[in-house]
Structure 1
Amino acid sequence: MAEHGSAMDYAEHEKTYNLFIGLVKWGSIHVIAILILMAIFLV
């Protein structure tokens, strides 16, 4: 468990958050592109 009184590493927290947001954004863009291509070529 975390010790009481320890400070958070905000720089590392922001870095991880930005990485997560970037992965979600680009992952969503890729999924949308795949769905559009499937709609064009499979229908």
Structure 2
Amino acid sequence: MAEHKHGEMDITTQEKTFAGFMKFTTWSVVFFVFLALFLLIFAS
């Protein structure tokens, strides 16, 4: 069985996926906050 050595795994794909997920989440939250503000102001 191979020995585990800390820090040798290539995680570039996981880092790119996480960065994309965080960007999507951030923009989604911004969109929904503006949508809520818009509805608060203009919905009657």
Alignment of 1:5-24 (within 5 A): 8-24=9-25
Compute the displacement of 1:23 (Å): 0.3
Alignment of 1:1-43 (within 5 A): 8-43=9-44
Compute the displacement of 1:8 (Å): 4.5
Larger-Rg structure: 2
RMSD: 1.8
Partner SS state of residue 15, structure 2: helix
Structure 1 gap ranges (5+):
none
Q: Report runs of 4+ in structure 1 exceeding 3 Å deviation.
A: none
Distance in 2 (alpha carbons) for counterparts of 1:8 and 1:24: 26
Compute the displacement of 1:9 (Å): 3.6
Structure 2 gap ranges (5+):
none
Distance in 1 (alpha carbons) for counterparts of 2:35 and 2:25: 15
